[in-house]
Amino acid sequence: MKPAPFRYADPGSVAEALEVLATEEGAKVLAGGQSLLPLLSMRLAAPATLVDINRVPGLDTVEATGDGVRVGALVRHATLLDDGAAARVQPLLARATANVAHPAIRNRGTTVGSIAHADPSGEMTSVLALTDGSVTVATPGGVETIPWRDLFVGPLETSISGPAVVTSAFFPALPPRSGTAFAEVARRRGDYAVCGAGVVVTLDEDRRVSAARAAYISVGLVPEVHDLTEAVAGQPVAGADWAGAGALARSLVDPDGDLHASADYRRLLVGVLTERTLASAAAEAAERTAA
């Protein structure tokens, strides 16, 4: 199918983009387009105007500091994947981005666009949630920061309304003595994940587990983050009961079934991926602590 007719605007600034969004009813922002264009082609979305922000300066930068990583709205997945400084500050960024679709899509699609799309099967939405991240949104009334818990309200739905441009996403830095891991299961590499898990494990000074958190994709209607600390707290890395954490995770999720996987199969994958990723993240945390 072909998209329904639409008008096209390519503003040169955020202010110009907001002006178009405020005056053109039913306008949508276009950045990478890898999520939006398929919806247009299937006529699941039919905006009256596309506002292409690719000419807007200052939105294509990655800033990595001791506090975290700020990713501009026009930063491509491939650019973030190759950014060594960002990976050192928050390793989950590179690990999750490597699982996003195929290289051709990563070369064009944007990390912030993926987050704004709010797909519960999206890797970057789960990373924003797991790291307690936020997005910065420009509106005619000024700039505001929206924490992830206030951002996602349903599948492909955010709390952002009216004329607005998401200009960046912020991912806090990995805490000290911590490690991360990310894994997913898909029918074919690059397909949407049947289930995925990202985790952060933090150790105390004696290299025992002090905290464990996990985020899951393709499990709920919005990104889900669960605290699994109670299942492994105080345990040494080498002898931690990761199976207990997997069992706890299975009890906390309530996935739906669809043509790709049953609810029971997704729940099984949650347990398996939880065990594997926690073990890997804990081992990395131990190495970082030793160093």
75 three-class SS: coil
CATH code of the domain covering residue 23: 3.30.43.10
Does one domain contain both 208 and 277?
yes
**pLDDT at 253 (0 to 100):** 97
Does one domain contain both 195 and 274?
yes
Domain boundary among the residues 172, 192, 216 is at: 172
**Residue 256 β-bridge partners:** none
What whole-number distance in Å separates Cα of residue 112 and Cα of residue 189? Answer: 22
**pLDDT at 1 (0 to 100):** 64
**pLDDT at 2 (0 to 100):** 81
**pLDDT at 239 (0 to 100):** 86
CA dihedral 224, 228, 229, 232 (to 10 degrees): -160
CA dihedral 211, 217, 218, 220 (to 10 degrees): 50
**pLDDT at 172 (0 to 100):** 98
Give domain status of residue 57, yes or no: no
Give domain status of residue 271, yes or no: yes
Does one domain contain both 191 and 139?
no
Does one domain contain both 188 and 238?
yes
> What is the count of structural domains for the chain?
3
Q: What is the pLDDT along the chain (291 residues), one digit of tens a residue?
A: 688 888 999 999 999 999 999 998 888 999 988 888 787 787 877 788 999 999 999 999 999 999 999 999 999 999 999 999 999 999 999 999 999 999 999 999 999 999 999 999 999 999 999 999 999 999 999 999 999 999 999 999 999 999 999 999 999 999 999 999 999 999 888 888 999 999 999 999 999 999 999 999 999 999 999 999 999 999 999 889 999 999 999 999 999 999 889 999 999 999 999 999 999 999 999 998 877
Does one domain contain both 221 and 139?
no
What whole-number distance in Å separates Cα of residue 198 and Cα of residue 105? Answer: 21
Q: Among candidates 92, 72, 86, which has minimal Cα distance to 32?
A: 72
CATH code of the domain covering residue 125: 3.30.465.10
Does one domain contain both 182 and 286?
yes
Give domain status of residue 1, yes or no: no
Does one domain contain both 35 and 108?
no
Does one domain contain both 143 and 70?
yes
What whole-number distance in Å separates Cα of residue 132 and Cα of residue 136? Answer: 14
**pLDDT at 147 (0 to 100):** 98
For the whole model, what pTM was predicted? Answer: 0.96
Residue 165 belongs to domain spanning: 62-172
Q: Among candidates 111, 121, 117, which has minimal Cα distance to 217?
A: 121
Please state, in angstroms and as integers, the Cα–Cα distance from residue 145 to each residue in 11, 64, 172, 282, following that order.
23, 18, 14, 32
- Is 207 in contact with 231 (CB distance < 8 Å)? no
CATH code of the domain covering residue 268: 3.30.390.50
Q: Among candidates 84, 58, 86, which has minimal Cα distance to 168?
A: 58
Does one domain contain both 221 and 244?
yes
What whole-number distance in Å separates Cα of residue 253 and Cα of residue 226? Answer: 9
Does one domain contain both 248 and 280?
yes
